[in-house]
Amino acid sequence: MVKSFKIEDTAAKLVEKSTLLKVLNYIDTVDLKTPVLLMDGDRIKRNVAIIGSGIGNCKVYYAVKANPSTEAIRFLSGLDVGFEISSEGELNVLSGLEVHPERIISSNPVKTVDFIKSAYSYGIRYFSYDSLTEVEKLSQHAPWSNLYVRLSIPNEGSEWPLSKKFGVEIDDALMLLTKAKERELNPMGITFHVGSQCNNIYSWNIALDKARLLSDMARDMGINISLINIGGGYPIKYTKSVLTVEAIETHINKLIKDRFPDGSIAVHLEPGRAVVGDAGIMVSRVTGKADRPDGEKWLYIDVGVFNGLMESIGGIKYTYITETRGGGDVMGINTGIKQNWTLAGPSCDSFDVIAKNVQLYEPEVGDMVLILSGGAYTVSYASEFNGCRIPETLIV
Amino acid sequence: MVKSFKIEDTAAKLVEKSTLLKVLNYIDTVDLKTPVLLMDGDRIKRNVAIIGSGIGNCKVYYAVKANPSTEAIRFLSGLDVGFEISSEGELNVLSGLEVHPERIISSNPVKTVDFIKSAYSYGIRYFSYDSLTEVEKLSQHAPWSNLYVRLSIPNEGSEWPLSKKFGVEIDDALMLLTKAKERELNPMGITFHVGSQCNNIYSWNIALDKARLLSDMARDMGINISLINIGGGYPIKYTKSVLTVEAIETHINKLIKDRFPDGSIAVHLEPGRAVVGDAGIMVSRVTGKADRPDGEKWLYIDVGVFNGLMESIGGIKYTYITETRGGGDVMGINTGIKQNWTLAGPSCDSFDVIAKNVQLYEPEVGDMVLILSGGAYTVSYASEFNGCRIPETLIV
């Protein structure tokens, strides 16, 4: 049966039309078990080709946490991109696919001892840090590794601003670089993170100003900074337009050339969301509908806060498209008009509410609901709470 | 090596001392891979023996979502208690242990068609509902089943108040009972939920008043209500004292006798937290420490918001006990004084912060941190975000 979806201009503008059409074609050819995350491989390829290309001397490491499924990582391992990991679990996915250790770095500033040991033994030699306890662990279990210290920077303009969990001010960073050198490590880099889904181009200014200042102070202590890891943070489109990769990178490249004019600095970039986010469309089905006492219309679908859409409670507003059969249905409701819906997930937890006031054509029980730009930070956060299935990731 | 923990009076008061001592003894005998959830089987037995015993004609169904681990369910399946489930995933755990279908009910008001089919085929005959689409699904896939309609009630006084996701007002409930009867189902019960961790004894008054009113109206329509499912909601101790099971049940029993004086009404109870919560102690280890720019002291442990302590961001404040070796350590810090700490989980996500301003004796990297009353809604919400391991549940 050919499924029917009314694609509004706004939705088509928000997601690459070719990605949407590819997913719609795929849905029509197979009997899909939902929820499932369909990823457009061509879109991932194009994202990988673009990201980092606007910055000189730049290597790109995909942040595995954005989508750590074996399917996504296998696909990415065939492209010209490295990987940023944080734990034994993430290392296991890469080692299972025999990804070369030179393609892997770890920017988790606080790592478990077990992870440091296995990462080092696998051959990984680039680690971030921001505390004395980390210097101690790395000196014992990863001697002579290349270390980059994490600076704390303001996160205004980011949808997911970072707390003070990670990062130090310049004086402490200098002390940590010195300590690392004393403990037979190779402190050689500086990192920072502007926060996820960052739409404020000036966040990178402050960050690179601080990095330059620290770099100068380090040189005076005999430590040569040859690497700036600028983290991730590139935004993608959900319900509104955002800065383009090209605009961000033109800006960053100019900042780096200006702050580090001798051209010797290497740049590491760790995009996650920007690599896989807009390449993925989450496909779910309607499990129920209800009119609640206060007049709200509720739509229940088989993916929710706990099994895939955790970011919906952290500020991400997705674009939804419902299947519209048209005509009557079991309850005799006409499906031709857009109405205001509250969307809820499949668990019994009343916290499992994904969105409010979403304008949708009314679907029936069993119909599909597409969730656009669902490729990043969806399956990564998913749990099997209440026995609900975690969506599989499929590359189409 | 015998581990050293300074147990304050407050902590001992909050958790059954026998549970704490049993866990401490266990920790000393084995080389524990953390994070791990240790559960005191005797405490679970005592909880099961007490809960429901104060209410006449009452059957107890453990809410599987509270801790769905095979270890916990296997242990509970050997006790005199039923199970409340919501999904195929939860049914699979029970069917794997060959739990008899008469011991199982499902109170998820919006179920997937696949779950209804497999539950019915397994032999389950008690289902909750609160919408017309659910009547339709149940009439097709679970004919003549016993249905209980979910009423909406106020949730003041609950730590996790329920949204308007589930439940209808009396008029709609009456309509749904009538529709179910028309569609060859057996509408015979009423349910409600006062909200999780409910510490307001009067929540049950309003709920039972509404149930009584609906029951009378249903009788006039020729529908006999013979079951009240009073949901869960019994609170447990985290950092402060709560209503006792005995006090709550004396109150509820009196309310039921008063509202349904002829004694014919059966009562179903669905405790989750109250069965396993205070029986569990989460055991984690310190992975790092840091002094952050603003003077905050941060402690990083191997369990966090995403791999076990999701409720910490929803209002639950746990009691923490740190291992205290005493004497000096690698950084030369003295461990004899309690200080104010921010506790963070193992992921790179800056949202992964468990608690602020917790007074703790300073532990060292590798030392253990015990999290009391960690048996419920911990592993259930856990995901492998950032490759971090989900704690195993062990009965000790």
Tens of pLDDT, residue by residue over A81-126, are 999 999 999 999 999 999 999 999 999 999 999 999 999 999 999 9
How does residue B235 score in pLDDT terms, banded at 50, 70 and 90? Answer: very high
pTM listed for this prediction: 0.94
Three-state SS for A193? coil
- Kindly report the nearest CA distance between residue B361 and chain A, in angstroms: 17
CB of B222 within 8 Å of a chain A CB? The answer is no
H or E element in which residue B136 lies: helix B132-141
* Chain B CA closest to residue A285: B112
- Kindly report the nearest CA distance between residue A393 and chain B, in angstroms: 15
Pair A195, A236: CB distance under 8 Å: no
Q: Which residues of A touch B110 (CB under 8 A)?
A: 287-288, 290, 300, 344, 346
Residue B137 lies in a domain: yes
pLDDT digits over B174-227, tens only?
Answer: 999 999 999 999 999 999 999 888 888 898 999 999 999 999 999 999 999 999
Residue B265 lies in a domain: yes
Tokens of A321: 């498209």
Among B79, B109, B97, which Cα is nearest to B189's?
A: B109
Number of domains in chain A: 2
Place of tokens 């490295």: A82
Query: What CATH number does the domain containing B322 carry?
Result: 2.40.37.10
Pair A160, A198: CB distance under 8 Å: no
- Pick the catalytic residue from B58, B198, B348, B388: B348
- Kindly report the nearest CA distance between residue A65 and chain B, in angstroms: 5
Residue A162 has its nearest CB partner, among B137, B350, B385, at B350
pLDDT digits over A142-200, tens only?
Answer: 999 999 999 998 877 666 666 689 999 999 999 999 999 999 999 999 999 998 888 88
pLDDT digits over B103-135, tens only?
Answer: 999 999 999 999 999 999 999 999 999 999 999
**What value of ipTM does the predicted structure carry?**
0.93
Pair B194, B154: CB distance under 8 Å: no
Q: Which residues of B touch A110 (CB under 8 A)?
A: 287-288, 290, 300, 344, 346
B229/B292 same-domain check? no
In whole angstroms, give the CA distance from residue A82 to residue A106. 11
DSSP state letters, A113-156: HHHHHHHHHHT--EEEE-SHHHHHHHHHHSTT-EEEEEBP---T
- Kindly report the nearest CA distance between residue B113 and chain A, in angstroms: 7
B223/B345 same-domain check? no
B62/B178 same-domain check? yes
pLDDT at A10 > cutoff 70: no
CB of A293 within 8 Å of a chain B CB? The answer is yes
Contacting B residues, span 330-349, partner chain A, CB-CB under 8 Å: 330-331, 344, 346-349
Residue of B110, B176, B388 to mutate when probing chain A, most A C-beta within 10 A: B110
pLDDT of residue A326: 52
B186/B329 same-domain check? no
| Contacting residues for B43 by C-beta, under 8 A, at least 6 apart | B16, B18, B19, B278, B279
How distant, in Å, are the alpha carbons of B27, B121, B122, B146 from that of B117? 44, 6, 9, 15
How does residue A61 score in pLDDT terms, banded at 50, 70 and 90? Answer: very high
Query: What CATH number does the domain containing B215 carry?
Result: 3.20.20.10
In this structure, of A213-217, A230-234, A330-334, B249-253, the range with the lowest mean pLDDT score is A330-334
pLDDT digits over B14-52, tens only?
Answer: 777 889 999 999 999 999 999 999 999 999 999 999 999
Q: Which residues of A touch B169 (CB under 8 A)?
A: 293
CB of B95 within 8 Å of a chain A CB? The answer is no
* Domain final residue pick, B270, B293, B315: B270
Residue A335 lies in a domain: yes
Residue of B62, B112, B305, B342 to mutate when probing chain A, most A C-beta within 10 A: B112
| B388 carries an active-site annotation | no
B256/B365 same-domain check? no
Strands (E) in chain A, as ranges, are 36-39, 58-63, 82-85, 104-106, 126-129, 146-150, 158-160, 186-191, 196-198, 227-229, 266-269, 280-291, 297-301, 320-322, 338-344, 353-361, 368-371, 392-395
A144/A74 same-domain check? yes
Residue B156 lies in a domain: yes
Contact A168/B344, CB-based, under 8 Å?
A: no
Residue B92 lies in a domain: yes
How does residue B295 score in pLDDT terms, banded at 50, 70 and 90? Answer: confident
- The domain of B320 spans 9-39+277-395
A16/A121 same-domain check? no
How distant, in Å, are the alpha carbons of A59, A114, A297, A375, B156 from that of B205? 64, 53, 28, 47, 12
A264/A294 same-domain check? no
Helix axes A203-220, A170-182, angle to 10 degrees: 40
Residue B373 lies in a domain: yes
Tell me the one-letter amino acid at A103.
Answer: R
With the CA atoms of B301, B305, B310 and B312 taken in that order, what torsion angle do they form, in degrees rounded to the nearest 10?
Answer: 70
How does residue B334 score in pLDDT terms, banded at 50, 70 and 90? Answer: very low
* Maximum CA extent, chain A: 78
A219/A82 same-domain check? yes
CB of A140 within 8 Å of a chain B CB? The answer is no
What is the average pLDDT across A220-244? 95
A76/A183 same-domain check? yes
How does residue A328 score in pLDDT terms, banded at 50, 70 and 90? Answer: very low
A294/A218 same-domain check? no
φ, ψ for residue B187, nearest 5 deg: -70, 120
Residue B44 lies in a domain: no
pLDDT at A330 > cutoff 60: no
pLDDT of residue A329: 38
What is the average pLDDT across A220-240? 95
Residue B198: beta bridge partners?
B158
How does residue B332 score in pLDDT terms, banded at 50, 70 and 90? Answer: very low
Residue B1 lies in a domain: no
How does residue B327 score in pLDDT terms, banded at 50, 70 and 90? Answer: very low
In this structure, of B14-28, B82-96, B264-278, the range with the lowest mean pLDDT score is B14-28
Chain centroid offset of residue A223 CA: 33
Mean pLDDT computed over every residue of chain A:
92
Q: Which residues of B touch A288 (CB under 8 A)?
A: 109-111, 131, 133-134, 137
In whole angstroms, give the CA distance from residue B297 to residue B313. 19
pLDDT of residue A289: 97
A34/A103 same-domain check? no
Among A340, A350, A341, which Cα is nearest to A313's?
A: A350
Contacting A residues, span 152-171, partner chain B, CB-CB under 8 Å: 152, 160-169
pLDDT at A332 > cutoff 50: no
Among A392, A389, A341, which Cα is nearest to A362's?
A: A341
Residue A288 has its nearest CB partner, among B131, B287, B294, at B131
* Domain final residue pick, A250, A270, A290: A270
* Domain final residue pick, A252, A270, A288: A270
- Judged on CB neighbours under 10 Å (0-12, 13-18, 19+), A84 is buried
In whole angstroms, give the CA distance from residue A272 to residue A266. 20
